[in-house]
Structures are given as structure tokens and as C-alpha cells.
Amino acid sequence: MIAVKDLKKVYHQANREIRALDGVTLEVPDDSVHGVIGQSGAGKSTLVRCLALLDRPTSGTVEINGVDLAHVRSSDLRRARRRLGVVFQHANLFDSRTIADNVAYPLELAGVERRERAAKVTELLGLVGLGDAAAAHPAQLSGGQRQRVGIARALATDPDVLLCDEPTSALDPRTTDEILDLIADIKARLGLAVLVITHEMHVVKRICDSVSLLEAGLVVESGPLAGVVGRLGGRLSEMLLQLPPAAPLPATLGATLEVLDTTQPGDTAALTAAERHFDADLPVLAGTVEHLDGTTFSRMRVLVPPSLDPAVVVSHLKGLGAESTISAPSIDEVA
Ligand SMILES: Nc1ncnc2c1ncn2[C@@H]1O[C@H](COP(=O)(O)OP(=O)(O)OP(=O)(O)O)[C@@H](O)[C@H]1O
Ligand SMILES: [Mg+2]
């Protein structure tokens, strides 16, 4: 379990104070993946560096299984770091070492004897699906395979938690999914608390149980995936259920139309029921369906015909479990 409380990191540059982290609080239970999403400069890497003990926070606490690591003495740092596995965007392997020796490196540092090291490395390479590559060198591997080595190395010291900073940002979409699935699989097998830093919503959708939105060093929204999706109008809800561009409408209709955004668990059942209730068509302009956290969610942008009062439609849809907002059709929807 990772528990971060009111974590702050202030950098001083010339006469300027940069509040890279301005009081971050979050929790990652064991056997779960928490995503931290944010734009460039939001403080994501600073957060990982502070959690990984590569940088000292200015204030606040970082507890791993109840032990505050933010305040360990410098002499205990190396031992404390063994409780944390860290995966970066690039695996940063030693080119001159074999794959097995790369994975063995943290064990050498920890003073583990040769035979025990070899057994652990074999186990780890099997875990990440590289049992055959022990004697190869990094240059002989693909980017995805190198990242697998990076993950095996991060797990070498049997850490309590896994911290991943943009683990798939350098990979193509298919390899990205393979690595994400591997991280989810390892989480489940080892019961780890995993924190994944990313700027891609795809990563959150595919493997995260919960998510925080980081902005200018602050968590501005956070919660389990199913919870944040249902928070209509919330930024994460918008990001998780992003609508594709809508088909253009005839300009002559534009002025008279009302458009409704409706979000619901499940598919379009509520919409179909509403159409039946009002005996009217609610044509879908754009829609998206996502499977998140074991639940299906859908968001539809529909046209409300002039014969219906949009507020009445919204209220009826609410009774059917769908949250909706009325919005004027945007310019590009009226061609
Ligand atoms: N060593 C440093 N000295 C001064 N300022 C820093 C330092 N490291 C980070 N910053 C500043 O802190 C803020 C957060 O940076 P950080 O690297 O954590 O962002 P990020 O969310 O990881 O961005 P990206 O998505 O581009 O990697 C930025 O304004 C950055 O310029
Ligand atoms: Mg970064």
C-alpha cells in the first residue's frame, strides 16, 4: 500500500520558486493499479522521483506499508529503495551486460550470492516472458522486450510497490498493450500496489482501477474509474468517455435544434426506452462505449426534436439512470 500525504516539492531557480508538487495526497491499495494523468509540466515525474527516493520532497510523507520513506536517513536510502520497483520510459539497460546480468544488477548491489541470484533471474525472466533471452544482449531485443527486462529488473528485490513513469510512451500501440497487460498480470500475481504515471488516457482505461488528475502540482480529481466516469461534467469523465467528432447537420436545422449529452452505465438502453416513452426519435450524432473497471459505460450526443422539451427528456433519462446535459450544437456539428 502506498499512502502519499500532502507531498510538496519546491524547486528554486534563480529568484523563482517552482511548486512542482503543491500538496499531493493519494492512496494505492495492494493488488491495484492507480493512474496519475496530467499534462506536460503537471509534476508527474517529480512525483515519481519523490516516491522512488531519487529526490527528497520538501514536505509531506510517503508511506509504503505504513513506513514513512520520505524521512529515512541518507544511510538507509539504499535499503529503502529495494522496497520500490521503478520502471521508466526507457529501460536504460547496460549494453555490455547480458539480459540476465542486467536483471541481476540490483541483486548484486544488495549483496545476494551468485547461486541465489541466478535462480531469481531465471524466475523473473520467466515471469516477463523472456525465459529464452537470458544470454542475449540489449541490442538484440526489441523496445518491448527491453521494457520487459526493465520490469524484471524492477522486481528483482521483491519490492512492495511498483512505480512506472510513462512505461509505454516509447512503444507502438500493440507493444504498449502487451506491456500494459504484463503490468496488470504482475500486479495480480504478486499483489503489488502499482502507480502508473501517464499522459495517455488509453493507459488508464486499460489497466487502472483508480485514477488521479494532476494539474500544476495538485490532484484536482481522483477516484475509482467507475466513480469518476459517473461524475458528469468532470474532467476525467470527459476524458474517459470522449466523443468522436459528430457528423455535420444541415445548416437550415441548426437554429432550431437542441443537443443532449447523456452518460450512462450500460449501453443505450435508457435512450431506447426514452424514445419509446416519448414516441419520438432521438438521433445519435456521436457516441462512445467503454468497458471500464468491469462495467460498460456509454456516452451519446443526441438530437432533441423541436416537439420535445429537452429538460423533460433530461429528467426522464435521469429516472432511467442516465445523467445528461443540454448543450447547443457546436459550429462543426452544423455544416
Ligand atoms: N530539477 C528541477 N529544477 C527546477 N524545476 C524543475 C525541476 N524538475 C522539474 N521542474 C519543474 O517542475 C514542474 C513539473 O515538472 P515534471 O517534470 O514533474 O512534469 P511532468 O508532469 O513529468 O511533465 P512531462 O509530461 O513533460 O514529463 C515543471 O514546471 C518543471 O519545469
Ligand atoms: Mg515527466
In the predicted model, what is the mean pLDDT of the chain?
91
- pLDDT at position 267 over 50: yes
CA of 326 to the centre of ligand 1 (A): 38
Q: How far is the CA of 181 from the centre of ligand 2 (A)?
A: 22
Write out residues with Cβ below 6 Å of ligand 1. Answer: 11, 13, 18, 20, 38, 40-46, 199
List the chain domain ranges.
2-236, 241-333
In the predicted structure, residue 255 carries a pLDDT above the cut 60:
no
pLDDT reading at 333 higher than 60: no
pLDDT of residue 70: 80
C-alpha 327 – ligand 2 centre gap (Å): 35
- pLDDT for 215 beyond 50: yes
Lowest mean pLDDT among 134-138, 252-256, 270-274: 252-256
**Picking from 114-123, 140-149, 179-188, 313-322, which range would have the lowest pLDDT averaged per residue?**
313-322
Strand order across the 32-37 sheet: 84-87, 161-165, 193-198, 32-37, 210-215, 218-224
| Cα–Cα dist 194/227, whole Å | 19
280-289: Cβ within 8 A, 24+ apart = 280/305, 280/307, 280/308, 281/305, 282/313, 285/246, 285/247, 285/249, 285/259, 285/329, 285/333, 286/243, 286/244, 286/245, 286/246, 286/247, 287/243, 288/241, 288/242, 288/243, 288/244
**If you average pLDDT over residues 182-210, what whole number do you get?**
95
pLDDT on residue 319:
93
Indicate whether 257 pLDDT > 90: no
CATH 3.30.70.260 fits 241-333, yes or no: yes
pLDDT of residue 167: 95
User: Residue with the nearest Cα to atom 8 of ligand 1?
Assistant: 46
- The upper half-sphere exposure of residue 190, i.e. CA atoms within 13 Å in the direction of its Cβ, equals 25
Query: What was the pLDDT predicted at 261?
Result: 87
Is the pLDDT at 163 greater than 60, yes or no?
A: yes
Dist CA 198 CA 206 (whole Å): 12
pLDDT digit string, tens, across residues 64-106: 988 898 888 888 888 888 899 999 999 999 999 999 999 999 9
Question: Going by CA atoms, what residue is nearest to atom 30 of ligand 1?
Answer: 41
Partnered with residue 299 across adjacent β-strands are 263, 288
CB of 289 closer than 8 Å to CB of 217: no
| Residue having the nearest C-alpha atom to atom 14 of ligand 1 | 43
% of the chain surpassing 70 pLDDT: 94
- Position 331 scores a pLDDT of 47
Q: Which pLDDT does position 118 carry in this prediction?
A: 97
What CA–CA distance (Å, rounded) separates 206 from 211?
12
As a whole number, mean pLDDT of residues 212-235 equals 91
Residue 335's pLDDT band (cuts 50, 70, 90): very low
- Supply the pLDDT for residue 253: 60
252 Cα–ligand 2 center, Å? 47
Does 3.30.70.100 match the CATH number of domain 2-236?
no
Q: pLDDT band for 247, please (50, 70, 90 cuts).
A: low
The whole-number average pLDDT for the span 181-186 is: 96
